[in-house]
Amino acid sequence: MRVLGIDPGIAIVGFGFIDKIGSKLVPVQYGCIQTEAHTPQEERLKQVYESTCSLIDRYKPDTVAVEKLFFNKNVTTAFSVGQARGVMILAAAQRGLPVTEYTPLQVKQAVVGYGKAEKRQVQEMVKMLLNLSAIPKPDDVADALAVAICHAHSSVLTQKINEVNRR
């Protein structure tokens, strides 16, 4: 199973593709999509959408996992990030890919075993679980890989729940 993990944003979108082979997790590709700060919002959303489409078409994930929006005190930022999440989810949906969303608490629980883990603990576990030589930078990339790892660990349970809900 190939998972695309996404840490949504408007300035920086972290992404990470991992393969789950049995119980082993293998990194495929990871990085970030960046947009310029003074670019009109619609152009930034177009760039995020087109880049997401291109990544999906190139690396062909079986499923997409997205971090749920944690409501920020800055409402403008929250709206922008929400719009970016929407275009990324649209890119996946147009390609018939299932999308699963996870809260930051769920991601930390799945990766570290503790829902209130610190960012550095999550980053160290991402590095260890994927056998990387260094913690991916910027932080958004490590976060995206953590979302992908969360989904890889949770996918069997999530599939069973979805099957029950469809009945």
Q: Which residues are catalytic?
A: 7, 67, 140
Crossing angle for the helix pair 139-166 and 104-112, to the nearest 10 degrees: 100
Beta carbons of 95 and 56 less than 8 angstroms apart: yes
d(CA 12, CA 35): 7
Distances (CA, A) of 125 to 11, 112, 114, 118, 132: 25, 6, 12, 11, 10
Beta carbons of 78 and 7 less than 8 angstroms apart: no
Of 142, 154, 6, 18, nearest to 81 (Cα)?
Answer: 6
Type of residue numbered 37: A
